[in-house]
Structure 1
Amino acid sequence: FSASPLLNDVVGFVVHSLLGVPYFSWKYTHARHHGGTNSMERDEVFVPVTAQNAPLLDKPWGYSLPVRLTYFVITFTAGWPLYLALNVASREHKGHWLVNHFTPWAPIFNKREAFYVALSDLGLVAVGAVVWKAAQAAGWAAVAKYYIVPVMVVNFWLVMITFLQHTHPSVPHYSGEDWTWLKGALSTVDRSFGYTLDRIFHRIVDTHVAHHLFSYIPFYHAEEATNAIKPLLGEHYLVDHRPIFQALWQDWGKCRYVDSEEATGKGVLWWKVDPICTKRD
């Protein structure tokens, strides 16, 4: 939001720490997400499972409504902490078992970044100490009501928004040499939460394509940038006008794993639509 990197980092560090997020750690992996969007080997978040390793794919009840609901609840309540702590829904790091956003020597960081990862951890420790003191003074019920539950609500919106930005039956993923940065950047989806929520969320939902093409544009210029690129991109500009919760439920059920038409499982990978969900929705 500012031309000053220092100001951006100071504000980001404080706000993210208050929300239980290691700021610099996530800043680094998010930058790599932008550098490898929708690449099966490079992306850092929402990397889909393939037909070869999709859980429950061979079970007749694997995509039943109870299973679908269970995955839904886990993802949108605990998905964000699980991603930070266990690198869930990210790419595979073969030969490494300790992959998370809290370990300075984790393979998702380089040596130059290690100090700032540790600094992010200290920010979380400081916030944790304040929360502990507040619980001793006011009780855990009050802390849950005024801090823990609101943070969980923030986490829900975060996972929901990012899921919808990168998940749609018509959005491909790429493996190997079939991926390019531009293909990945254009494999994102603009959606709208309505006039009010779009502005509350600083236009991150309905201007996400522009954000991936020009990630240094501040949010208050994102609408202008989006309007400028639409006629240039033409059919390559992806936007979904479905009601947001309808889109969430439908795409959650339909986009369960990706597969390639090539025997190697490489190349361009498309979401495989579950016929049960298609019929039901």
Structure 2
Amino acid sequence: MNEPLANLLAALDLTDTGAQTSEDIFTGPSQWMPLGRVFGGQVLAQSCVAAMRTVPDDRIVHSMHAYFLRPGDVTKPITFGVDRIHDGRSFSTRRTQAYQNGLPILSMIASFQDVDEGLEHQVEMPADLPDPESLPSPLETLEGVDHPVARYWATERPFDMRHVPSPIFLRVDGEHVAHQAVWIKTIGELPDDPNLHRAALAYASDYSILESIFRRHGIAWSTPDLKAASLDHAMWWHRFGRVDEWMLYVQESPSATGGRGLALGRIFDRSGRLLASVAQEGMVRVPLGGRRE
């Protein structure tokens, strides 16, 4: 198994340190990041795993709502405290708090449900988009760029990402619109554990969702003095899908104001099944000279 994917699996393999007072306690490592701050998707996924460890196997996560409270430090492990808020006949609710140095860095509430029958419908996946195999990989896009962040994007992430119409790493090509799509999958196969795939989907959901805000204003990730951070994150799992197979992450931003932007996302498998919906508000601060309306 390649190193980035092995690191992802290691990060999601939490250590159970036992129940203390009213909480179940778990610990997990922090993955290295070039700027020294823990990737938000990592903490989301680990918080989901911690909550999953406290519910029966026949109850699956269907939604979570989280707030990012403080930046995490990649040099330190993370402690996860899970509060068993409620167990009903069909649903269970868990609150997970992620801590470093005794301070919370993320607070999440997740809901779990028994497998049940019900009404079925979904929105359609966008048609006539290029296949992922026809689009350049991050390694191809960033070839020759000698920068720690570029090297991380190109070779050290556990996910392959192919942007439609093009990535915004270095520049924003084409029309400045508040929407985009990204083909995404892990760079290798994962074990068959369904909860692992659900947690990894939460991990990946934080990667590019704010880019629909950036694209609307012609802002590339390389814009000098760009400051962006996730403030909160909500996710709803609709149907099971494997994250080691190509998925289409469709993203749009309905609004940006007051130094914040809202982004919405839908994740489809390649056959068009809607796997999950995502919403995130982020802080986006750009120097006046960095805007390209």
* TM-score interval for Structure 1 and Structure 2 normalised by the shorter chain: under 0.3
- Higher-RCO chain (CA-CA 8 Å, sequence separation at least 6): 1
Q: TM-score, normalised by structure 2?
A: 0.24
Q: Which of the pair is proportionally richer in strand?
A: 2
Q: TM-score, normalised by structure 1?
A: 0.24
